[in-house]
Amino acid sequence: MPTLYMELTIYKYLKVISKLKKGKSNEVKPSLDKIMELVNIMQVNDRLTRNLAKLDKQIIGLAQIIIWDTQIIILDEITVGLDPRNIIEIRHNEVYCRKMNC
């Protein structure tokens, strides 16, 4: 996550990313809320990005991937340094995204 955005909340950070992709603010909110629910970060969306744990930062990265709607995703060792419970959560998000064609 770029240092420039460390003062933003998760929601505002993803909104900036969405605006860069979609261009208009009024087109962002419905899909952004859906994406945040999809990766299970809706309940912590008001936390500052600088205060996030490694797992949360990686989940925000998954949300960015969904926002940018990329055709190819290369996940290189995204579970390194996470505890077993967090690894399961990351894997769950990966599988869910595949099933939903995120």
pLDDT digits (tens, 9 = 90+) for 15-62: 888 888 776 555 555 588 888 888 888 888 899 988 988 778 888 888
- Would you give the distance in Å from CA 50 to the centre of its chain? 14
Instruction: Give me the pLDDT at residue 47, please.
Output: 92
Q: From the CB of residue 101, how many other CB atoms can be counted at a distance below 10 Å?
A: 5
pLDDT tens track for 57-86? 888 888 888 888 777 776 666 667 777 777
Strand partners, 9: 48
Domain total in the chain:
1
Range of the domain at 80: 3-100
Cα–Cα distance between 63 and 57 in angstroms, integer? Answer: 10
Residue 2 has a pLDDT of 53
**CATH assignment of the domain containing 46:** 3.40.50.300
User: In the prediction, which pLDDT does 29 show?
Assistant: 56
Residue located via tokens 């419970």: 85
